[in-house]
Homo-oligomer: A and B are copies of this chain.
Amino acid sequence: MILSALLTSVGINLGLCFLFFTLYSILRKQPGNAEVYAPRLVAEGKSQQSSNFNLERLLPSAGWVTRAWRPSEAELLSTSGLDAVVFMRIFIFSARVFTFAVIVGVFILLPINYMGKQLSLDISDLPNKSLEAFTISNVDDGSNRLWIHFSAVYLFTAVVCYLLYFEYDYISSKRVSCFYSSKPHPHQFTILVRSIPASSGRSYSGTVESFFSEYYPTTYLSHWVVRRASKLQGLIKNSDKLYRRLMYLKSANHDRQRFKRDGFMGLFGPRVDLLDHYGKKLEDIEDNVRAEQSSTLGKEVGAAFVSFRTRFAAAAAIHMQQGVNPTQWVSEPAPDPEDVYWPFFSASFLKRWISNLVVVVACILLTLLFLIPVLVVQGLTHLEQLEIWFPFLKGLLRITFVSQVITGYLPSLVLQLFLYLVPHIMIILSSVQGYIAMSRIEKSACIKVLWFTIWNIFFANVLSGSALYRVEVFLEPKKIPAVLAVAVPGQATFFIAYVVTTGWTSTSSELCRLTTLVFNFVKRNICRKFDYEFEVPSLPYYSEIPRILLFGLLGIIYFFLAPLILPFLLVYYCLGYLIYRNQLLNVYEPKYETGGKLWPIVHDSMIFSLILMHVIAIGIFGLKKLPLASSLIVPLPILTLVFNSYCRRRFLPMFKSYSVESLIKKDRQEQNDPALANFHDTLATAYQDPALLHVGYSGNTASINAPLLSTAEVDARM
């Protein structure tokens, strides 16, 4: 790619960004779009937009930028939780790293690369200059100037490690202080016990009761055995749908729609009043639901939520092996009630273990074999090949502008569309793995998507060739540095374009939420559906974080290879900071809280990026005939790993569980609080399956929040 092509691409994407900004600032002022651009405020009843028309509504403005910038981190924490703060810290951390990188890369390394003569690119006019002139490939072999690159690698690693340490420290202390200031949550007092051994002539409930009252006589409070409720969940879904249709018919008073023929497709048979018809149907289903609810109470699964009087007792029970057989009475921290993932509550140890194994294999296969669409995309970057495939496009492709668009923009757009599906697949895979909390499923999916992204975007583009070839490279570890050193700098231009297109444009389009906007418009104005439930979305961390981390990986790797990428990355992170802050404040509402447990993923990914950079540096200096520098780099990855292992000991335990000191301080703090006794009472029913709590619509009072049965009543019934 030549410089002018890059500039064209940058121009297009800058234009798109401004278009998105303008669109956003206008669209968000339209009263009908409040549910798209400020669902949080709508849900909280804070959205005060007048529906009167005035001119200001049609003029773009930048007021949202300052409104997004102004709130402090403490305010963000109080409204969106620690996860959102951690998410924003990724941008802050990356912006710090790449500010340093830009200073070193653009002002020191870039001029050195440009002054090299290795590639003998004699074209004197800058616009037609190949971008390779700005990469390390252009530095003369064996030149002493490479020692500057060498020092830059060491310095950069030190700076990144320092910032990583600082950030880990900051977030872990935030996590502890959040714990201290938190209200009592059911999950702090509760553990999930699985693989409860079946004893003859006794329900699981009885077994749990006797086990915990024997071994935790002073601290055991109550328990709730999980029930097999999938059939019930299906029934309730149907009744919900029917109820909503009924409400719509009632509210709209569509007399024309109210009567319908009873027979095949509403064409034959006697005309019936739909209101009566649906009403009767709903009553039938509700009867079924009630019958199923009582039968479900008997369908116990070998898993239970066990609550304790104090946080300390619950934590102690989690950390210790309960029964003599370690595959029975397996205890783990319970998620918050709204975070529990009910549908897949597999109880058997062996079944979970096998499904875990199957998912890991499936995930590896998916990651390795996804490459076919990526290869097609790769093909698009070569104009010649495109001309051979589609000869009728020859004329079009010869136009300079079109060819520049295709080489600069199209490939990454197609890639992005393919990748859109992956997080959803990974979520499905993770949910089959047997996690019982949505937050854990999302965390696991986040790691899967991250590896998927690194393999299928970075490695697939760098090591073009068959999937088997790529795998083979990693089976011969000795050759990895040399292979990467040849391949990685060659793809620098592709990744610069990728940052500009995917990074800039997709982040700006996040602001506009185009798909939601269109969906909303269609529903409202064409389908005239008003019966949908309005729901505030939550930010899908599992798909956003890997994308942001991929850009971090690219930046770290290309820092000394092709520093031209760095300013674009810095712009990306600044844009991202502003836009996601705005979205977190207006659009997304957290459904559950992991307490910042996503940060270790970020940390590990950064360490991986550094190590990969070192491996490539070893290869590059070897290739550039500077073997001394190549071997002097070797201690760097080792030191980085030592640093990482120190961090794992110093900080990681704080993300896994709270310390005795914190737990007991928190317990003492509330010891004499009269509210605690009430809270203890609610614990007994906190973990009921929402399906069991469904009361029904027949009486038209949907008081969903009142519990149906207490544990004592359930036990009495059985």
Interface residues in chain A, defined as those with a beta carbon under 8 Å from any beta carbon in chain B: 176, 214-215, 315-317, 319-327, 349, 353, 357, 472, 475-478, 642, 646, 649-654, 657-662, 664
Contact = CB atoms under 8 A, between A and B. Distances in A.
A497 to B, nearest CB: 35
Nearest to A322: B660
B475 A475 contact: no
Contacts of A649: 326-327, 349, 353
Contact of A478 (B214, B476, B650, B664): B476
A320 B662 CA distance: 11
A224 B185 CA distance: 38
A342 to B, nearest CB: 25
A555 to B, nearest CB: 30
Q: Which secondary structure dominates chain A's binding surface?
A: helix
B660 A321 contact: yes
B660 A215 contact: yes
Given A215-B661, A472-B478, 15 more contacts: A215-B660, A215-B664, A316-B316, A316-B319, A320-B659, A321-B653, A321-B660, A323-B661, A324-B661, A326-B649, A326-B652, A326-B654, A475-B478, A476-B476, A476-B477
Nearest to A326: B653
B357 A642 contact: yes
A319 to B, nearest CB: 4
Q: Which 10 A-B pairs have the closest CB atoms?
A: A326-B653, A319-B319, A321-B659, A316-B316, A475-B478, A322-B660, A215-B664, A324-B659, A320-B660, A476-B476
A166 B196 CA distance: 24
- Counting chain B CB atoms within 10 Å of each CB, which of A317, A324, A651 scores highest? A324
Contacts of A661: 215, 322-324
Contacts of A651: 326
Given A324-B662, A657-B321, A659-B321, A646 B475 contact: no
A323 B659 contact: yes
Given A478-B475, A661-B215, A316 B320 contact: yes
Nearest to A211: B661
A316 B319 CA distance: 8
A650 B326 contact: yes
B653 A353 contact: no
Contact of A646 (B214, B320, B323, B353): B353
Contacts of A664: 214-215
B654 A324 contact: yes
A651 B327 CA distance: 9
A214 to B, nearest CB: 8
A349 B653 CA distance: 15
A215 B663 CA distance: 10
A478 B661 CA distance: 51
B653 A324 contact: no
A652 B319 CA distance: 16
Contacts of A315: 320
Nearest to A317: B660
A556 to B, nearest CB: 25
Nearest to A212: B660
A326 B651 CA distance: 7
Contacts of A646: 353
Nearest to A474: B477
B660 A327 contact: no
11 contacts: A214-B664, A320-B659, A321-B654, A321-B657, A322-B660, A323-B660, A327-B649, A353-B646, A357-B642, A476-B477, A477-B477
Contacts of A321: 653-654, 657-660
Contacts of A176: 324
A659 B330 CA distance: 11
A101 to B, nearest CB: 30
A273 to B, nearest CB: 61
A666 to B, nearest CB: 12
B327 A650 contact: yes
A530 B711 CA distance: 77
Contacts of A476: 475-478
Contacts of A357: 642
A214 B668 CA distance: 11
Contacts of A662: 324
A324 B176 CA distance: 8
- Counting chain B CB atoms within 10 Å of each CB, which of A326, A472, A475 scores highest? A326
A662 B326 CA distance: 12
A316 B176 CA distance: 21
Contacts of A327: 649-650
A364 to B, nearest CB: 13
A599 to B, nearest CB: 15
Contacts of A660: 215, 317, 320-323
Contacts of A322: 659-661
A657 B316 CA distance: 14
